[in-house]
């Protein structure tokens, strides 16, 4: 290329180069912004089955899994690993696909009840609560025992706390704590104080 031609097209060529560089920088800046807004991925504990109120945190493993989610899709307080789950019980019902938050787990079983429920404790022998049927976190129906009859007095009652039946001797009485609604509490307490109650899977 001759010096004359280069002199004539030089300014235009320089302008083109500057524009091209500007577009490249702008594209890279936009990509960086997009990457920042996406935030990458982070491990998140997610429920893979329905988990009822009152379920102990050490019983969650079969019902949760760790998934990689975009940071901007994670709920505040989401737990990153199963080992990170705090001790306690689930304070709200969880559904499949729901992220497990540290705030979902409370220290005291009575704190897991929520508005409209209260805790009632009953001393029962194994025949009245049938062991695994009333495992912590399960929901049961409560029957009042009266002679040879049994009357249904409360439904969808949450078992807040019960012992491991394998640790009990035959006919050994034990305390089972139930979460009942305000409307059910007087009848359940009356039955517990009287002839007793019988728990059946809801």
Would you say residue 16 has pLDDT above 90? no
Q: What confidence score (pLDDT) does residue 132 get?
A: 53
In Å, what is the CA distance from 96 to each residue of 49, 63, 128? 5, 9, 32
pTM of the model: 0.50
> What's domain 41-108's architecture?
Alpha-Beta Complex (3.90)
Which of 37-41, 98-102, 194-198 has the lowest average pLDDT?
37-41
Q: Phi first, then psi: what are they for 201, rounded to 5°?
A: -55, 130
80: number of Cβ within 10 Å:
13
Question: pLDDT tens digits, residue range 93-111?
Answer: 788 899 998 888 877 666 5
Mean pLDDT, rounded, for 76-104:
86
Q: What confidence score (pLDDT) does residue 117 get?
A: 80
Say how far apart CA 58 and CA 135 lie, in whole Å: 13
């Amino acid at each position: 290329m001759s010096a004359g031609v280069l002199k004539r097209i030089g300014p235009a060529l320089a302008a083109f180069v500057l524009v091209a560089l500007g577009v490249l920088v702008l594209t890279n800046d936009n990509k960086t912004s997009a990457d920042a807004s996406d935030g990458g991925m982070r491990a998140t504990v997610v429920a893979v089955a329905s988990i009822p109120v009152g379920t102990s945190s050490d019983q969650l493993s079969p019902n949760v899994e760790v998934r990689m989610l975009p940071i901007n899709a994670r709920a505040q307080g989401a737990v990153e690993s199963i080992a990170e789950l705090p001790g306690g019980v689930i304070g709200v019902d969880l559904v499949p696909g729901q992220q497990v938050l540290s705030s979902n787990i409370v220290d005291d079983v009575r704190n897991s009840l929520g508005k409209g429920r209260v805790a009632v404790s009953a001393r029962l022998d194994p025949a009245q609560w049938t062991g695994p049927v009333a495992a912590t976190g399960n929901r049961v129906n409560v029957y009042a025992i009266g002679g040879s009859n049994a009357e249904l007095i409360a439904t969808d009652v949450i078992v807040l706390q019960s012992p491991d039946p394998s640790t009990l001797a035959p006919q050994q009485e034990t305390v089972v704590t139930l979460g009942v609604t305000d409307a059910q509490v007087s009848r359940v307490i009356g039955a517990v104080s009287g002839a007793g109650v019988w728990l059946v899977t809801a």
